[in-house]
Amino acid sequence: MKRNKLLLAALTLALILAALMVPTANISAAPPQQNVNVVNTTADPVPTVAQGTTAVSGSVNVSNTPNVNVANTPTVGLTAGTSVGISGVPTVNIARTLVHDGKAFSLLPDPNIAFEFTIPANVVLTDVVLSLNAPSVAITIFVAEGDNSKTYVFQSVGSASSTFAGSTEGRATINFQSGLQSANGLRVGLTCNNIGGNTCAGALMWSGYQP
């Protein structure tokens, strides 16, 4: 029994000595935070996501833009009283050279063409105006292809007392809206209809532009 106590005391002493011999870890304070420099090269770019309000100054180059296919585009409806303002819309000016011609006339009845204008192929015809300044039974105005392959306008105009003309206003205005152009050129002219007692006096003019 005494022997066991001696062994237990010796073992306890050995454990204490072993604990004292273990080296104590040297704990030091953590180093302070430092800035990190990131190199953003073209070959190895750093992805970034802009959040909130981002101000960009100078020139911005956008390259490698992907193709975007938009399907099932929704319909946007605006209710009455809603206004949409678009700012920064550039003004586009289309260069045009305006061209025109006209002629006054006083003709006797003749079934043949009294006179005509030749509109060159590089001209877009927009308007033709015929005005009478004397009573007339009928005068015919026409607009046709330069090679006579097509006729676009063939209209009879007279004064208020006329019973033959399709229009009795003494005036005809032909508007081709966006314009009429032909590779063959165009013909604009008139005929004083050969009807008893007919007189034809007034003016014929046309206008258009060169693109």
Lowest-confidence pick of 22-36, 51-65, 172-186:
22-36
Buried b (16+ CB within 10 A) or exposed e, 14-32: eeeeeeeeeeeeeeeeeee
Q: Which fold has domain 104-210?
A: Jelly Rolls (2.60.120)
pLDDT digits (tens, 9 = 90+) for 32-74: 888 877 788 877 787 777 777 777 777 777 777 777 665 665 5
Give the residue, 67 or 7, on which the prediction is more confident. Answer: 67
Confidence of residue 76 (pLDDT cuts 50, 70, 90): low
pLDDT digits (tens, 9 = 90+) for 103-147: 999 998 888 899 999 999 999 999 999 999 999 999 999 999 999
The domain spans of the chain are: 104-210
Q: Which of 178, 174, 177, 123 is nearest to 151 (CA)?
A: 174
> Would you state the pLDDT for residue 31?
75
Identify the DSSP state of 9.
Answer: H
pTM: 0.55
Q: Where are the beta strands (DSSP E) in the chain?
A: 97-107, 115-119, 124-132, 139-145, 151-157, 171-180, 186-192, 200-210
> Would you state the pLDDT for residue 35?
81
Buried b (16+ CB within 10 A) or exposed e, 68-95: eeeeeeeeeeeeeeeeeeeeeeeeeeee
Structure tokens at 97: 């050279």
Instruction: Say yes or no to pLDDT of 2 above 70.
Output: no
Confidence of residue 14 (pLDDT cuts 50, 70, 90): confident
| 190 beta partners | 115, 141
**Average pLDDT, integer, range 161-170:** 89
